[in-house]
Structure 1
Amino acid sequence: MEPLHPGDPRRIGPYELEARLGAGGMGQVFLGVSPGGRGVAVKVIRAEHAEDERFRRRFAREVEAARRVGGFHTAQVVDADPEADPPWLVTAFVPGSTLREVVAEHGPLDPDAVRALAAGLAEGLAAIHACGLVHRDLKPGNVIMAADGPRIIDFGIALATDATVLTSHNVVVGTYAYMSPEQVLGEMPGPPGDVFSLGCVLAYAATGGGPFDATSIPAIVHRVLHEEPDLPGLPGDLSNMIAACLVKDPGRRPALDALISAPQSIEAPAPAPAGPSLPDDDAVGTHANATRVATRQQDAPAVAPAGPAPVRRRALLIGAGAVTAVAAAAVPAALFLTRGDGRQEAAPPAPAPRPKGLVSPSGSLTAPGVKTLNEVAITADGRTVAAGGLDSTITLWDVATGRVLRTIEKTGWVSALAFSPDGRSLASSCSTPGLLLVWDAATGRLKVNVRSGEFGLNSLDYSPDGRTIAGANPDARLFDAATGRGLASFDLRHSGVNAIAYSPDGGLVAVGVDGYHDKPPGKTVQLLDGRTLRKRGQLVGHTSNLTGVAFSPDGKRLASSGADKTVRLWDLASRRAVRVIKAGEATVKDTRFSPDGSSVLAACSDRTIRIWNAATGVLTATLVGHSQPVERIALTPDGRTVAGVGGTKADGTVTLWKV
């Protein structure tokens, strides 16, 4: 803290300024006092940014997101005026020294203190990410070591990932010694980028130095991109945890919940796969970013080209001009990527329209005693959500109020759910033993109880007239909805089935085949007659097992998802894939069309639900906030509410989003 300078403002909005707290790339931070006498931190945006209308719009969006950031380990945003001249942001003032000051004065923290710091900062980042923000500048100077625990401060360059890059194409803002590789390469970082920065901060706290320290910024950049971190003398669990955070591939970094609740379970990272792990920004596909909103799409042919795209060699030019070495390793600056011959690349083509970006949950549904939910369904009127899992119960909620309507017990392990078109019946599958069960949705009374075979059904769907239920696993089968009597079956040679769906007119049943042990007709979508299950065709192109199938509302297209990390859109008249949408490193667990057919949604293993424009393949939104991989999704008939469930450990929550 230092006195105000002669040219500093004495008042911003209703806040009297008393001293300087620090400065960053976006602005100056002052100690202020609210009209009620409370201490606050006031960040005033620099003039060069305030004059940029694009920056102001982005800053306004981030302020709105930052206002929602909760959690004990962040400094709360209490006020802001993005329209002021200059714009400003106010957070609660947290008394205490920064982590950088503490380590500089007293030396590295002891291992127990580092473990506590890791849990606290991970909790703070989780709160930030849940609101659709990525901090982008986590470093020792932005961590306040308060008496009651650490606080993450300075949302000055936090990025809502639907925003444009701050200045121009391939420009990075941040602090090199704590940047993730993807951020160094000029990409828009997602939450895994903050995990990498967290690893750097913890290494600094534990050792007194950064894991990629060097004598110049180019040397730091080289080490971040290509070398292993320095983690000398750390206990095994700390070394494993920090090294895992510092993996070059964002998709291999640990999730924040593991850092909070089970850091001792994090294993040392395995050696990275051979070949370039950080592709050039022109390479096909995306990195494994939980919130990366630049997923590329590829038109037909149905099968994507094999092998990685070539990585062009690039040189690095640091700073504005010809600065090539800077002694102060933690100085924020801009990093420009240039051509291999040292000349700056030509201006990139005009970018495509930006996607909507991250959408945080609008609510959640829980019930006492419910610990696991892996299946979800919504009635055709959009009023009722049902979900079930390993707890041998099905819970029904009122969508509007979140109130539990009823709990159906003794259901066995629920492996599939489907409401009848009129919403009066709810079909479920029990996996132990294999049963098809049909319940009265209003009372919970069991109406049908029949053996479905050796295995439980992995997927269920009612015919449009409600008279027939299609079920899958290990073969495709049709059941009379009123009695459970078997009507037809199609032999899939025990290759396994994960998904089944009726077409809107009831004429077709689509079956997504697992391809278990490469048994034929694996890794295909089988198109069967809606009444007899006689084969009408097949769709070929996925390179791994199918996880979801869905017809468009007009019945002319079909979406299929797979463990090959793609969603494929098929024209049913020609039986050809018209679009292959890549989901980066995320496995797609389920897929749905929006009720108007304009969008296709995918439940992803990176805890997101992604929404693409069905006509163009452009990503339009990424739904975030579910605590574990999303396995199943359902939509209300107006398409405005999305429900998601899933996870590999106890979490009995249905997460809801408004879109």
Structure 2
Amino acid sequence: MESLHPGDPRQIGPYRLEARLGAGGMGQVFLGVSPGARRVAVKVVRAEYAEDERFRQRFAREVEAARRVGGFHTAQVVDADPAATSPWLVTAYIPGPSLREVVGAQGPFDATAVRALAAGLAEGLAAIHACGLVHRDLKPGNVIMAADGPRIIDFGIARATDATVLTSHNVVVGTYAYMAPEQVSGEPAGPPADVFSLGCVLAYAALGHGPFDATSIPAIVHRVLHEEPDLSALPADLRNLVAACLAKDPARRPTVDTLVHAPQSIVAPAPSFLPPGDATFANATMNVTRSVPAPAPARRRALLIGAGAAVAALAVGAPAAVLLTRDDGEPATPPPAPNPTGLISPSGSLTGSGLKNLSEIALSPDGRTVAAGGTDSFITLWDLASGRVLRTIQRAGWVSALAFSPDGASLASSASNAGALLVWDVATGAIRVNVRTGGEFGLNAVAYSPDGSVIAGVNPGAHLFDPRTGRAIASAGLGNSGVNAVAFSPNGAVVAVAVDGYYDKPPGNTVQLYDGRTLRRLHQLTGHKKNVLGVAFSPDGRMLASCSADATVRFWDPATARTTRILKTGAAIARDVRFSPDGKILFGACSDRTVRMWDAATGALTGTLVGSGQAVERIVLTPDGRTLAGVGSTKPDGSVTLWKV
């Protein structure tokens, strides 16, 4: 508790405010006094949420649901005003320190105290769930250790389980170190999410630290999604109970009724699979979210080597560490990994009828129109501002590449299953060019030159096409090693090609730089250990970035063909890269369902975009640099995820 700050209100409704009790994700909590001199806790919603009418509607519904919550182990909601200029909620004030304060001052609880805590909190959650609510932010700071038992407080971000979702798509709400995997991923969080949080709280009480604590938010997210906590210090029965609560699969967690009435019957579920190379798991917390090699829709390298190919499903990565290179090109000793400034949740999404898999995306030069396609064999165009579907282009085949012309009038695509280059009229959806590209498989990437005079297309070699006729102007063979991405320099003089290096075929895992008019080879950039997946030039053309399946992003000086910096992405794989319009930020689309933001000058991780429902494979950025859109095809999703950056 602390004194009121100079800018704090002194009165909310009929309640006089006396002190600050704390702050939550949705607002500030004050100690208040009712007209009858009864002490209460008053939560005032932050201004940015108060301005959102959808939030007010949801808040009003949740207040009504929260009023019904009874039970000895919760703080009763006694008053609220969702229509106030700053909406507020009042609960009974429970005197006593928080669980976090008690553990911080006295150390971890013994096993008997943890079992008593588990029983009390499970009873409180049962009362909450019985009223159709999910708490969504159970953590040590929201558990008050009152003289007569633990109490769950702060219903400020609870959601009625039967309510229509009124917030933006995939918004992540809660405290990351205590959130369930599905909640971290921006998916719907039901009662099992509270059980996962309960397991985290019990581990904290018993160990003195959270089971997924780490030094940065991306590292916490990684641990929640893909790592198992060390519970070996707990007694067997308590370890079994906590491990069961921490199961990655919501369906495998115990119910609160079981926790209340038959905790001794809980058995941590056995893992549902064993990834290659692992004989056993220590416990059941790795059930369904640990990545293993798995079939994926054929694209990129798979399009070159046929239907029998498999693409690895890759795990969530730890924070990137910056590696500067020595004069000999080898990485120098890395400095400590930077902490990000925070995570950015999606601002919305684009979807449409019949969409299932989207693996390619393009944005018109004016930033107004988004195009996306994949295995659905059609291309959908949206108005970015309104989210309205403008048109659907049929007969597009299995879309493996997309690019708008510089004037925005044409859209180039490749039909992988037909091995064709297609050019469409954006205004009408009519086809202008339809030519076979000469290979069994289609192009894995296409790009217009800055002046629109040629289209570069790649796989298995590199090619230049006349955009009016589709006629091949120039070609460069790459020994059937496969190609994943292509990019023009800002002046159009150079074409960068990301080589797959399938089965180490020459020229291997390299970036090839060609003349933008003749495809005469200028440089070969070597250093990546596995297939190169994406390339991008900085707006001034002085830097080139590439990403690879070797879990690195490299910066190059294209004039000298030298590596200038290496970023390590941990267990995650960056699959696509884009510079911001001012060249200050490099964005990387990652297999851990995030988009990383790195400072292009220093390599420091400056932020992480989260909440995608699947691995992010391709990204585009609006000309003002304020909106990023991404797609991925690791599971049927059929949507484009949007972030405000």
Amino acid at match of 1:152: D
Superposition deviation, residue 594 in structure 1 = 0.9
The equivalent residue for 1:134 is 176
Superposition deviation, residue 647 in structure 1 = 2.3
Query: Matched residue of 1:517: which SS?
Result: helix
Q: Distance in 1 between matches of 2:423 and 2:41?
A: 64
Query: Matched residue of 2:270: which SS?
Result: helix
Structure 1 residues 353 and 373 mapped into 2: Cα distance closer, same or farther (>3 Å)? closer
Q: Distance in 2 between matches of 1:250 and 1:300?
A: 41
Superposition deviation, residue 48 in structure 1 = 12
Contact 2:593 2:611 in 1 (8 A): yes
Contact 2:576 2:590 in 1 (8 A): yes
Q: Distance in 1 between matches of 2:420 and 2:174?
A: 41
The equivalent residue for 2:78 is 33
Superposition deviation, residue 131 in structure 1 = 3.7
Q: Distance in 1 between matches of 2:193 and 2:337?
A: 37
The equivalent residue for 1:296 is 321
Q: Does 1:642 align with 2:633?
A: no
Query: Matched residue of 2:240: which SS?
Result: coil
The equivalent residue for 1:527 is 513
Superposition deviation, residue 517 in structure 1 = 1.1
Q: Distance in 2 between matches of 1:568 and 1:43?
A: 54
The equivalent residue for 1:264 is none
Match of 1:580 among 560, 566, 569: 566
Aligned positions of 1:600-639 closer than 5 A: 600-639=586-625
Deviations 1:623-653 (A, max 9, x none): 1111111110111111111010012221101
Q: Does 1:474 align with 2:505?
A: no
Deviations 1:494-523 (A, max 9, x none): 110001111110100001100011111111
Q: Distance in 2 between matches of 1:34 and 1:628?
A: 41
Query: Matched residue of 2:178: which SS?
Result: coil
Alignment length (residue pairs)? 476
Superposition deviation, residue 428 in structure 1 = 0.1
Contact 1:14 1:35 in 2 (8 A): no
Contact 2:539 2:583 in 1 (8 A): yes
Aligned positions of 1:338-349 closer than 5 A: none
Structure 1 residues 93 and 570 mapped into 2: Cα distance closer, same or farther (>3 Å)? closer
Match of 1:91 among 143, 155, 159: 155
The equivalent residue for 2:400 is 415
Match of 2:288 among 241, 254, 257: 254
Contact 1:177 1:210 in 2 (8 A): no
Q: Does 1:152 align with 2:174?
A: no
Deviations 1:342-382 (A, max 9, x none): xxxxxxx9x99752221100010000001110000001100
Query: Matched residue of 1:638: which SS?
Result: coil
Aligned positions of 1:235-634 closer than 5 A: 238-241=269-272, 254-255=288-289, 289=316, 292=318, 294-301=319-326, 354-454=339-439, 455-634=441-620
Contact 2:548 2:574 in 1 (8 A): yes
The equivalent residue for 1:174 is 204
Q: Distance in 2 between matches of 1:648 and 1:629?
A: 6
The equivalent residue for 1:67 is none
Q: Distance in 1 between matches of 2:170 and 2:640?
A: 21
Deviations 1:105-151 (A, max 9, x none): xxxxxxxxxxxxxx99xx9xxx9983474143879xxxxxxxx9556
Q: Distance in 2 between matches of 1:451 and 1:538?
A: 28
Superposition deviation, residue 90 in structure 1 = 2.8
Contact 1:581 1:617 in 2 (8 A): yes
The equivalent residue for 2:10 is none
Structure 1 residues 484 and 241 mapped into 2: Cα distance closer, same or farther (>3 Å)? same
Unaligned stretches of 5+ in structure 2?
A: 1-36, 45-65, 83-88, 102-131, 143-151, 182-189, 244-263, 293-313
Contact 2:203 2:211 in 1 (8 A): no
Structure 1 residues 41 and 296 mapped into 2: Cα distance closer, same or farther (>3 Å)? farther
Amino acid at match of 1:134: Y
Structure 1 residues 457 and 150 mapped into 2: Cα distance closer, same or farther (>3 Å)? closer
Query: Matched residue of 2:134: which SS?
Result: coil
Amino acid at match of 2:221: P
Instruction: Report which stretch shifted further, 442-451 or 296-305.
Output: 296-305
Structure 1 residues 624 and 240 mapped into 2: Cα distance closer, same or farther (>3 Å)? same
Q: Distance in 2 between matches of 1:588 and 1:136?
A: 27
Deviations 1:308-345 (A, max 9, x none): 99xxxxxxxxxxxxxxxxxxxxxxxxxxxxxxxxxxxx
Contact 1:495 1:521 in 2 (8 A): yes
Q: Distance in 2 between matches of 1:532 and 1:387?
A: 30
Deviations 1:140-195 (A, max 9, x none): xxxxxxxx955628989999xxxxxxxxxxxx993446977653x77765235445
Q: Distance in 1 between matches of 2:282 and 2:625?
A: 38
Amino acid at match of 2:134: T
The equivalent residue for 1:74 is 134
The equivalent residue for 1:13 is 42
Query: Matched residue of 1:211: which SS?
Result: helix
Superposition deviation, residue 240 in structure 1 = 1.7
Query: Matched residue of 1:90: which SS?
Result: coil
Structure 1 residues 479 and 154 mapped into 2: Cα distance closer, same or farther (>3 Å)? closer
Query: Matched residue of 1:239: which SS?
Result: coil
Query: Matched residue of 2:457: which SS?
Result: strand
The equivalent residue for 2:20 is none
Query: Matched residue of 1:356: which SS?
Result: coil
Query: Matched residue of 1:487: which SS?
Result: strand
Amino acid at match of 1:296: A
Q: Does 1:190 align with 2:220?
A: yes
The equivalent residue for 2:128 is none
TM-score by length of structure 2 reads 0.63
Structure 1 residues 646 and 43 mapped into 2: Cα distance closer, same or farther (>3 Å)? farther
Q: Distance in 1 between matches of 2:339 and 2:226?
A: 26
Superposition deviation, residue 34 in structure 1 = 2.0
Amino acid at match of 1:645: V
Amino acid at match of 1:425: S
Structure 1 residues 532 and 253 mapped into 2: Cα distance closer, same or farther (>3 Å)? farther
Structure 1 residues 128 and 385 mapped into 2: Cα distance closer, same or farther (>3 Å)? closer
Deviations 1:385-427 (A, max 9, x none): 0000000000000000000000000100000000001100000
Contact 2:360 2:373 in 1 (8 A): yes
Amino acid at match of 1:191: V
Q: Distance in 2 between matches of 1:389 and 1:240?
A: 33
Q: CA RMSD in A?
A: 5.0
Query: Matched residue of 2:271: which SS?
Result: helix
Query: Matched residue of 2:563: which SS?
Result: strand
Structure 1 residues 630 and 48 mapped into 2: Cα distance closer, same or farther (>3 Å)? closer
Unaligned stretches of 5+ in structure 1?
A: 1-7, 23-28, 51-71, 83-87, 95-118, 140-147, 160-171, 215-231, 259-286, 310-348
Contact 2:358 2:631 in 1 (8 A): yes
Q: Distance in 1 between matches of 2:180 and 2:465?
A: 56
